Every structure is written in structure tokens, then in C-alpha cells.
Amino acid sequence: YDPGIRFSGSEYERMLKSATGVDVVEAFIAYALGESLTPLADQLKNNIYMLNGQCGLQLFIDSYPGTIKCISGVDNVIAMPEVVKVVQKHNVGYKVPASGDVAQRIFEIVTLTENEKGPIKSTIHAIGQHLSIKNSSGREMMTPMIDIERMFN
């Protein structure tokens, strides 16, 4: 049982605002100040949970253990029109532990694309092509991206 209004985890409110124009952060602040949520409720009636026909993805980019020497391609990912938000969790010099948990997560990337196989696959593929995380030997540390073909079969 959750007795109160609260934000969801990660960056969902950014994706929601990009897809629908609904600013839940603003609405929650207004509510905390005593205003009604009725205007928000009216906006929510318009297929908001379906993101107006779009597909929202949150991609977690993880790394193999080791010390990060170089991170590249971040600006290219940020510039992608499908990308809503990029959160970089660690920087060059971070020693990625062999922990098998979020300590190995280097990026969280929120995307919003057409809700069709082609655009979803293209977005995931482009992110994987742009980003690189290398160690001092020049070896790639980024774990493989989601298997796009398997995802749609």
C-alpha cells in the first residue's frame, strides 16, 4: 500500500513530459501547495499511459570490471532526437567492481521513439554504436547492448 503521491523511479517524468506535454513535477508541486489535481487528471485522460502512441525505453549501460580510461560518444547520444535524458553515473578513473549490480552501471538513457519495431531497433543500435567505454589497454568495457532481434521474436 502506498499512501501518497510520489514520483516513479528513474526518469519517467521526463519521458512523460516529452511524449505528452504533461509536467507531473509541476503538478505535484502545485498539489503540495494546495492546488487541485483536476487539470492534471483531465490531461491524463488522453492516452497518456500509452505515451501518445510512442515507445519509451530506459536503457541501462553497464561495464565489465576494470578502471575506466576513456568514455566517448556521449555527445552524439545526447544529440539524438529520440534521447530524452542521459544520466552518466561514473566518470573516467572509476574502478568498476565485479559486483554484478548497479555499481557496474555507467549510463541510464531514456528514449522516446515511434512504437514500431524499426525505430526502436534503430535507436538502440545507434546508442550502442555511439557509446564506448575503454580501459587503459584500449579494450572495450561496455557490456553488450540488449539483443534487439531477440527482443522482437
Instruction: Over range 131-146, report the average pLDDT.
Output: 93
Higher local confidence (pLDDT), 13 or 69: 69
pLDDT in tens, 34-61: 887 776 666 666 555 567 788 888 889 9
| pTM, rounded to two decimals | 0.76
- Is the CB of residue 19 less than 8 Å from the CB of residue 56? yes
pLDDT in tens, 62-113: 999 999 999 999 999 999 999 999 999 999 999 999 999 999 999 999 999 9
Q: Please, which pLDDT band fits residue 25 given cuts at 50, 70 and 90?
A: confident
- Reply yes or no on whether the pLDDT at 2 is more than 50: no
Q: State the helix-helix crossing angle for 24-32 and 12-20, rounded to 10 degrees.
A: 110
Going along 13-144, which residue ranges are E strands?
54-62, 66-67, 70-72, 83-88, 95-96, 105-114, 132-134
> What integer pLDDT is reported at residue 40 of this predicted model?
67
- Reply yes or no on whether the pLDDT at 134 is more than 60: yes
Q: Please, which pLDDT band fits residue 146 given cuts at 50, 70 and 90?
A: confident
Q: Which three cell numbers stand for residue 1?
A: 500500500
Instruction: Over range 13-23, report the average pLDDT.
Output: 76
> What integer pLDDT is reported at residue 47 of this predicted model?
55
